[in-house]
Amino acid sequence: MSILFSSPSWSKYKDHFKSAFKKNKLNFSEITTDFNTESTDVEFIIYDPSSQLRDFSTFTNAKAVLNLWAGVEEIVQNKTLKKPLIRLVDEGMKQGMIEWCLAHILRHHLNTDVHVKNQDGIWRSDIVPPLASEITIGILGLGELGSAVAQSLSAIGFNINGWSQTKKNIPNVKSYFGTDSLIKVLHSAQILIVLLPLTPKTKYIINASTLKLLPKGAIILNPGRGLLINDNDLLTLLDSNHIRHATLDVFAQEPLIPSHRYWSHPKVTVTPHIAAHTRPSSSAETIAQSILKIRAGEKPRGFVSRKEFY
């Protein structure tokens, strides 16, 4: 049996898979990038959403599709895929997301732009930044990434309210769950991080009504998915000064077109979907371990529920 690596980026991953497979006593020569491989001979498909593969129906003996991304919104709807789908749950990705959120939160929390952008001889010692303990951050999505970010921010001293479908037990993080409690998290969120998966239930969850529930002057960070936010509503609420700033990493259409208003808006920061890239070294190790687990008849982390779309 073989392992089909379905990605245009094999050269970036190859050496990392070689060492991860060796470390985990797996046979590296089973990996192929050849699409002409007999599909009934494929045991696993390592899948990059940017690959050309769209029809999974012929991989009748595959044990699972191992997604190289955390987000599965496109592949989860693929009707030809009948095999278990595993999304990436990875330490490198978690660390990347923590660092991106931390950087952009501290930028706004400490008002660093005032000094960075104004090296003009004016001594602005009256602008004293608050302490983290004076600020409440809401995190929508307390999954693998949201909970890692929540723990890092609470370790610095921020007050954290998190929102998910099911109740969570994370030290120093207040867990809100279910549709009705969203309003409570929004009401108190001076900074809001959107780290939900894109599903039929979460699409456009950030819209005029939910944005208005945020305190005036709130900051938004979206490293989740572009379609979680209604862009026109966000622009309206930024223009009316209800929202102070939005830092956006993901967009309805990527790359974000050069003429999009987000690029030139003074209260928007665009980053090009780099919050938490898949790191070849840690993801190779994660995938090697998932293969071992599945072969042993166990469930790896990141098992996707088709019913929930994530």
Give the chain's count of helices (H) and strands (E). 9, 12
Which CB atom, from 32 or from 181, has the smaller least distance to ligand NAP?
181
Point out the catalytic residue in the list 16, 108, 109, 225: 225
Candidates 65-73, 125-133, 139-147, 199-207: pick the segment binding ligand GLV (CB under 6 A): 65-73
Give me the torsion for CA of 90, 93, 95, 98, rounded to 10°.
-120
User: Does the annotation mark 306 as catalytic?
Assistant: no
Q: Is 225 a catalytic residue?
A: yes
Interface pattern 203-232 for ligand GLV (x via CB under 6 A): ------------------------------
> Closest CB to ligand GLV among 202 and 278?
278
Q: Does 69 bind ligand GLV (CB under 6 A)?
A: yes
Residue 47 interacts with ligand GLV (CB under 6 A)?
A: no
Greatest CA separation for the chain: 70
Does the N-terminal peptide bond of residue 223 adopt cis geometry, omega within 30 degrees of 0? no
DSSP secondary structure code for residue 273 in this structure: S
- 282's contact among ligand GLV, ligand NAP, none, with CB below 5 to 8 A by partner kind, is none
Three-class secondary structure of residue 2 per DSSP: strand
Phi, psi dihedral angles at 218 (to 5 degrees): -70, 155
For ligand GLV, the binding residues in 259-278 under the rule CB under 6 A are 278
The catalytically annotated residue of 244, 265, 273, 301 is 273
Please give the residues from 146 up to 175 whose contact with ligand GLV meets the rule CB under 6 A.
none
For residue 70, state whether it binds ligand GLV (rule: CB under 6 A): yes
Which residues contact ligand NAP (rule: CB under 6 A)?
70-71, 93, 141-146, 163-166, 195-199, 201-202, 223-225, 249-250, 273, 275-276, 310
- Sheet architecture: strand order including 159-164: 173-177, 159-164, 136-140, 191-194, 218-222, 243-248, 268-270
3-state secondary structure of 182: helix
Element (H, E) at 19: helix 10-23
Exposed e or buried b per residue across 42-72, where buried means at least 16 C-beta atoms within 10 angstroms of its C-beta: bbbbbbbeebebeebeebeebbbbbbbbbbb
- Please state the closest distance from residue 6 (CB atom) to ligand GLV, in A: 16
Residues at the contact surface with ligand GLV, assessed by CB under 6 A: 69-71, 88, 278
Residue positions annotated with a catalytic role: 225, 273
